[in-house]
């Protein structure tokens, strides 16, 4: 885990890091790429190299292939250039934002195939851990899989689902799904479990930890079960949910969540380390 804040935890804009002075109505800013310092580009290279070395055998193939095609090794990438390439591939764009943004703006961007990316980079002393997502997490973790057509479609559906959840009072539940899939999800491959969640992929420690049989629970994703499950914001996850493939993620989240939200709200949420009757741990020591 390399960050813990979400808009839900930090809903009072005042405490957010980042410069919100020049935002447009939808919280978009200019990246101002020329303003990054040589030290920041050097820190990006160090972050990139550490993560890239950990990817083989851990990240899913789709992620590695797309990341390499981005050629983002030399320094903090120019978001406009990436946005162009991404648009040609899957019709998604990237918008620069000052940091965390409110749910309505976030979901609206996703529903319109725009992915918000924070413009600031962490400080050297935050190499291993930052409190809020920075450009390294947002770009390295999230952008590569937006080149995958099914995953790209899924994120758009998630954005639409977020707007709907705001009406239905289902935001807590939907945030758990995001957390355990888009941020901390694992996927099966013929060679074993692989990572597709951005929060793991951009984390030095969790990329290794999350795949160790002895560490935490690994169970097959069940959408409703996942949306009942609390998550840890200040430690590695105690449970990782595993999908078969991106098609499963798309299809299992397609049904109307309205009745699920109602059922879940009538129950106590499950602790992060729960194992229910009949659930099988996919990795065992």
| Among Fe ion, ligand PHE, none, partner that 198 touches (CB below 5 to 8 angstroms by kind) | Fe ion
**CB of 191: closest distance to Fe ion in angstroms?**
26
In this chain, which of 12, 25, 256, 268 binds ligand PHE, going by CB under 6 A? 256
Give residues 140-179 in contact with ligand PHE (rule: CB under 6 A). Answer: 157-158, 161, 164, 177
Stretch that binds Fe ion, among 93-101, 151-159, 198-206, 270-278 (CB under 5 A): 198-206
**Residue sitting closest to ligand PHE (CB):** 161
| 139, interface contact from ligand PHE, Fe ion, none, CB < 5-8 Å by kind | none
Q: What is the 3-state secondary structure (H, E, C) of the chain?
A: CCCCCCCCCCCCHHHCCCCCCCCCCCCCCCCCHHHCCHHHHHHHHHHHHHHHHHCCCCECHHHHHHHHHHCCCCCCCCHHHHHHHHHHHHCCEEEEECCCCCHHHHHHHHHCCEEEEECCCCCHHHCCCCCCCCHHHHHHHHCHHHHCHHHHHHHHHHHHHHHHHHHHCCHHHHHHHHHHHHHCCEECCCCCCEECCHHHHCCCCHHHHCCCCCCCEEEECCHHHHHCECCCCCCCCCEEEEECCHHHHHHHCCCCCHHHHHHHHCCCCECCCCCCCCCCCCCCC
Half-sphere exposure of 4 (CA within 13 A, CB side): 12
Q: Which stretch binds ligand PHE (CB under 6 A): 32-40, 44-52, 239-247, 249-257?
A: 249-257
Residue 161 binding: pick among ligand PHE, Fe ion, none (C-beta 5-8 Å cut-off by kind): ligand PHE
Minimal distance in Å, beta carbon 160 to ligand PHE?
6
Using CB under 6 A as the binding rule, whether residue 257 contacts ligand PHE is answered as yes
Which position among 7, 67, 187, 198 is part of the footprint of Fe ion (CB under 5 A)? 198
Among residues 51 and 253, whose Cβ is nearest to ligand PHE? 253
Rounded to a whole number of angstroms, the minimum distance from the CB of residue 282 to Fe ion is 24
Residue closer to Fe ion, measured from CB, 64 or 198: 198
Contact positions toward Fe ion, by CB under 5 A?
A: 198
Applying CB under 6 A, the residues found at the interface with ligand PHE are 157-158, 161, 164, 177, 253-257
């Amino acid at each position: 885990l390399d960050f813990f804040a979400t808009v839900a935890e930090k809903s009072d804009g005042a405490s957010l890091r980042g410069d919100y002075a020049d935002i447009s109505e939808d919280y978009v800013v200019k990246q101002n790429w020329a303003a990054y310092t040589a030290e920041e580009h050097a820190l990006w290279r160090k972050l990139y190299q550490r993560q890239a070395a950990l990817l083989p055998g851990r990240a899913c193939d789709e992620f590695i292939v797309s990341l390499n095609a981005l050629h983002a090794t030399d320094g903090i990438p120019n978001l406009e250039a990436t946005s162009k390439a991404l648009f040609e591939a899957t019709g998604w764009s990237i918008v620069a934002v000052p940091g965390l943004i409110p749910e309505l703006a976030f979901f609206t961007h996703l529903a319109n195939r725009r992915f918000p990316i924070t413009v600031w980079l962490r400080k050297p002393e935050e190499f291993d851990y930052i409190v809020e997502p920075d450009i390294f997490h947002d770009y390295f973790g999230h952008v590569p899989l937006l080149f995958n057509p099914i995953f790209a479609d899924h994120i758009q559906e998630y954005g639409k689902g977020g707007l709907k959840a705001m009406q239905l009072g289902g935001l807590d539940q939907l945030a758990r799904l995001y957390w355990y899939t888009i941020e901390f999800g694992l996927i099966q491959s013929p060679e074993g479990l692989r990572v597709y969640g951005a929060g793991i992929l951009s984390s030095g420690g969790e990329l290794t930890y999350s795949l160790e049989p002895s560490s935490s629970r690994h169970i097959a994703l069940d959408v409703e079960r996942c949306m009942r499950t609390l998550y840890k914001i200040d430690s590695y996850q105690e449970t990782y949910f595993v999908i078969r493939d991106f098609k499963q993620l798309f299809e299992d989240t397609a049904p109307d969540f309205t009745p699920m939200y109602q059922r879940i709200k009538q129950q106590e949420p499950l602790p992060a380390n729960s194992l229910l009757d009949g659930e099988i741990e996919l990795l065992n020591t």
